[in-house]
Structure 1
Amino acid sequence: MHFLWVLLAISAVLVAVQGQPQPACDSVGDASPVCRCTSTRVNCKNAGLTDVPTGIPSGTRKLDLSGNRITSLPKMVFDGLSRLDTLDLSDNKISSIDAGAFGGLGYSVDTLDLSNNELVTLEKGVFRGLRGLLKIYLSDNNLIELKNNSFGTHRSLSIFNCNNNKLTTIDAGFFSRYPKLAYLYLSRNNLASLPPGVFDNLSKLWSLDLSNNELESLDDAAIFKDLSGAGFIDLRLNKLKRLASGIFSKSNLIKLKFLALQNNSLSVIENGAFDNLPSLQSLDLQYNPLENVDCGIVPTQDMSPSLERFSVSCTCEIKPLYSCPNFAWVGVKTRCEDMWTTIIRISLDCSTAAPMARSAAHASGTTSTNWITLAAQWLFSNLFIRD
């Protein structure tokens, strides 16, 4: 009978505390059954939490709540943590964040990680109080839109990562409030178009990743006009069909080094599209169904003196490049994706119904591909040509 009463008592205690937030730290510096606590750090990673714990010391600067089962963040849940600078909530199951959830944090928070959660929408004003924010990570959620009213000005924000969501819509001017933004990641979303002026006022932006979306066109000819500090633009794995002549050349991209356009549906690139890119080192156009290729689509020595690599799919459509006045210069930099060599060292057999690239050995009468010769050519060429 005594044993039965003990079991009943334990059950009553469990019922009483079920669903209640657990204390993080008994006191500063003490070990805790929930979190590991020091004077400035509280580590609750993989602690099995379903709610944000209580009792987090007010002097905490770094709070790690990653790898738990937290589903929501109620209003003022972090009240009193005015010295916090890093808040990691990644790898939870958060699907809702109340407006004011970060209200007690003050201006000290510079890093907020909400990646790999279950967010679909963001409440109005949810991030407005975080004026000192430098980095925000929202990747691997289910967000469908980025709305101006969910965010504040965040004038010091330098990293915005929203990779691998389900974004279809971004409010016009959304990023223009972040003049110090340096890294913008929007890869692996469902963006079919971009609003006019979406990248205005971003002269500090260095890296822009728009790869693996549904973009079919860049309708705003001035969309990149303010990206004078950009060094890397990634537009791979979209559905772009056409590039207008001024889309890059009239955008003042004086620091652009890497431009990735492979795996699109590009059939038309207007002449001069890649002019006025003085710092360009790598241009990738592989796996595009290019048609009517003209000398005007390739970078020239006077416009892009720093060019080291121009990658294309070596089909018969690019044969006109052999007749270009600057072919001696651009040919040694033009790489075929599957030939391990530069275009200047191969010829194109366009006499068959299914055109294909062939090596220089074929041109001399060899009936089958001499891979040893091709490898030797590649090795020899790379002794003198920088990739």
Structure 2
Amino acid sequence: MQGQRTTPSRYRAAKLLQVLVIMAAIIRHAPGQPIRACDSSGRSAACTCKPLIAFVICTRPELTELPSGIPNNTISLRITGNQLTSLPRMAFHQLSQLQMLTLSSSQISEIKLGAFETLSSLEWLNLEGNMLENLSVGVFRGLVNMWKLDLGGNRIESLPVGIFSGLPSLRQISLARNGIKTLDHILPSLPIHVQSLELDGNYISRIDRNVFARFQNLSSLVLSDNGFGNLVPGVFNGLISLSRLYLNGNNITFLPPDLFLGLEELGSLTLDNNRLVQLKGNRFGDHPSLTVFSVANNNVSTIEAGLFGRFQKLNSVNLDGNNLTSLPTGIFHGLVKLKSVRLENNRLHTLDPDLFQDLRNAWLIKLGHNNIKTIPSGFFSSCLKVGYINLQGNDLTYLPPGIFDNLTSLQFLELGDNKLDNLDANVFRDLHDVWHIYLQGNGIKSLPSTIFNGLQMLRLLYLNDNKLSVIEHGTFDGLPMIENIYLQDNPLTNITCEMLPSQNVSTSLTEINIDCTCEWEPVYDCPEFSWVGSKLECSNPLRLSSDSLDKVPKNALTCAAPRMVCFNQIGWVALSVLALLSNSLISN
């Protein structure tokens, strides 16, 4: 006999019982007593306990005091998103094995002395996102093994000298997103052995010379999003171990000579989202360890020739979002270790044929959204390891023959939103590993039937919003990994079964996006229609949007051109509104 079916009344009764159990767990403790964190089931109204990994997480929003019953062997305790306002003395006295404690996104404004005194094993304390404003000396007493402290997102403006005394292991401190206005109220209290300091998102308006001089062990300094202006020479004096410096999101318009002199260990320099207009070599030292240089989203229009030549270990250069119209000759020469070059959203219109001649290890090249009209022949010939090329949003009308030859590692190619009207049959012939090709938003009128031959790894193909009227037989044959083809917003006619992928070959096909016009009627008679019809998905007209063709009756297909369909639905509405406005103005 099969098991009895649960009746609706039984189901409701079971749900009611479950609710009552939860309510009982919430209210069964006596008033004034804390909720118990863990019961025999490993779950309570406030917490989830995972004894196998000694992990407890408590996220009940209504929690106003620390839960009781936390297992003594807990290694990680996370109490977040609640109404806790203070931490009492000896708050965690039974948790001597605790290594990670998170008390974030709450309302904590007070921590009693001795709150953490018994947590000698604690390594990471996270107090981010509370309402802490004043911290007393001794508040972190006993945390002898703590190496990371997060005080970000509070209301701290100053710290008393001695607050970090007796914390020999402390190496990382975050004071991001507080109310700090001057470093004079913070830096004297910090231990000299600190290695990472986050001060981003504060209100620091000025940084004086030698202010960091005593922090010779500091390796990472974050000063982003404060709003200070130009820096004075010598501001980074003494930071002989600094390897990462973040200055993005301020109001820097000018870098004084030798600003970064002496930072011999500097490996990453970020100056994004400032107002710099030029980059000159004498603003920097030699920086033999520099691997990351980012000045994105500034107003840079001039770069001194040879600026990057001194940084022979450069791995990444980001110049996105500036006002560059050209680049100095040889700007990247000798940078054989460079793997990422980002030049998007500038105003580049011509490219030096030898710009990338030394970039034999480059993987990412982004030149999108410029004013580039032509790509020199052989432009990428040295970039044999490139995996991602972005040329989207330029003014390209033509691709030289062989422009992508030998780029057998290329996986992503973005050519959308240009002015290409035809493509050479062999333009993609060596792209054996390419996954995605973007050709949308051009003026392509036809495709050679062999253009995608050999692209065994191609998964996504964007051909939408072009001027394709005919797709030749066999164009999509031989694409075993293809998943999506985008054909919508093309004036396709004379559609036949032979222009579509084959079920035997393209076994990974998920969908082909099309405009469901009456030009697709012949496909209903294709031998594989039960398969291909389920893959053809209507993008237009709106009434058929997201329907697969096998679910759309023939007589539901529209015979209007796709762009006219779009105009009929939207354009006529706009014209009607304009007419009404005109009549209103005339009548007045």
Q: TM-score band (shorter)?
A: 0.7 to 0.9
Q: How far apart are residue 286 of structure 1 and its match?
A: 0.8
Tell me how large the CA RMSD over aligned residues is: 2.5
Tell me, what secondary structure is at the counterpart of 1:330?
helix
In 1, the alpha carbon distance for the partners of 2:518 and 2:349 equals 41
Superposed CA offset, 1:294-349 (max 9, x none)? 21111111231211111111001111111222212211111111422210111233
Give aligned-pair identity as a percent.
Answer: 34
Aligned partners of 1:139 and 1:163 also within 8 Å: yes
Q: 1:185 aligns with which of 390, 412, 417?
A: 390
Question: 379, 382, 397: which one pairs with 1:174?
Answer: 379
TM-score (structure 2 length as normaliser): 0.53
Residue of structure 2 equivalent to 1:64: 270
Pair 1:244 & 2:442 matched:
no
CA contact (8 A) 1:78 1:103 kept: no
Q: Which amino acid aligns with 1:113?
A: N
Distance (whole Å) between structure 2 residues aligned to residue 209 and residue 324 of structure 1 = 33
Over alpha carbons, which structure has the higher Rg?
Answer: 2
Residue 42 of structure 1 corresponds to which residue in structure 2?
Answer: 245
Residue 350 of structure 1: CA displacement? Answer: 8.0
| In structure 2, distance between residues paired with 1:157 and 1:298 | 36
**How far apart, in 2, do the equivalents of 1:247 and 1:115 lie?**
32
Unaligned runs of 5+ in 1: 1-21, 357-387
1:106-125 pair list within 5 angstroms: 106=312, 108-125=313-330
| Number of residue pairs the alignment of both structures matches | 331
Specify which of 117, 127, 151 is matched with residue 332 of structure 2. 127
In structure 2, the CA distance between the partners of 1:77 and 1:104, relative to structure 1 (3 Å rule), is farther
Question: For 1:117-266, what aligned pairs fall within 5 Å after superposition?
Answer: 117-218=322-423, 220-248=424-452, 250=453, 252-266=454-468
Q: Displacement of 1:193 after TM fit?
A: 1.2
Q: Distance in 1 between matches of 2:334 and 2:282?
A: 11
Q: Secondary structure at the match of 1:148?
A: coil
Q: Is the 8 A contact 1:274 1:299 kept in 2?
A: yes
- Displacement of 1:260 in angstroms is 1.0
Query: Given that residues 125 and 152 in structure 1 are in contact (C-alpha distance below 8 angstroms), is that contact kept between their aligned partners in structure 2?
Result: no
Q: Which residue of 1 aligns with 2:161?
A: none
Summarize the Cα distance change of 1:244–1:303 in structure 2 as closer, same or farther, 3 Å threshold. same
1:269 alignment partner, SS class: coil
1:352-384 Cα deviation digits (max 9, x unpaired): 87589xxxxxxxxxxxxxxxxxxxxxxxxxxxx
Structure 1 residue 29, shift from structure 2 partner = 3.4
Q: 1:176 is paired with a residue of what secondary structure?
A: coil
* Mapped partners of 1:312, 1:318: distance in 2: 9
Q: Would the aligned equivalents of 2:244 and 2:268 in 1 still touch at CA under 8 Å?
A: yes
Task: Report the 3-state secondary structure (helix = DSSP H, G, I; strand = E; otherwise coil) of the residue aligned with 1:170.
Answer: coil
User: CA offset at residue 27 of structure 1?
Assistant: 4.0
1:159 alignment partner AA:
L
- C-alpha displacement of 1:130: 1.8
Hey, what does 1:308 align to over in structure 2? 510
In the TM superposition, what is the alpha-carbon distance from 1:160 to its structure 2 partner?
0.8
How far is the alpha carbon of 1:63 from its aligned partner? 0.7
Distance in 1 of aligned mates of 2:390 and 2:485: 20
Of 330, 334, 339, which residue of structure 1 is paired with 2:536? 334
CA contact (8 A) 1:244 1:273 kept: yes
Structure 1 pair 345/352, CA: closer, same or farther in 2 (3 Å)? closer
Alignment of 1:321-360 (within 5 A): 321-337=523-539, 338=542, 339=544, 340-349=546-555, 354=560
Note the C-alpha offset of 1:147: 2.3
CA distance in 2, matches of 1:23, 1:149: 42
Displacement of 1:91 after TM fit? Answer: 1.4
Distance 1:70 1:24 in 2: 23
> Hey, what's the Cα distance between the residues in 2 that align with 1:24 and 1:318?
73
Q: Is the 8 A contact 1:23 1:55 kept in 2?
A: no
Q: Label 1:102 to 1:52 Cα distance change in 2 as closer, same or farther (>3 A).
A: farther
Cα gap change, 1:158 to 1:355, in 2 (>3 Å): closer
Tell me if the contact between 1:186 and 1:210 (Cα under 8 Å) persists in the aligned partners.
yes
What's the counterpart of residue 519 of structure 2? 317
SS of 2:491's partner is: coil
Provide structure 2 residue ranges, at least 5 long, that are not aligned to the other structure. Answer: 1-207, 563-588
With a CA cutoff of 8 Å and minimum separation of 6, indicate the structure with the bigger relative contact order.
1
Instruction: Calculate the TM-score normalised by the size of structure 1.
Output: 0.79
2:422 & 2:281 partners in 1: Cα distance? 41
In the TM superposition, residue 284 of structure 1 has moved relative to its aligned partner by 1.2
Q: Secondary structure at the match of 1:247?
A: coil
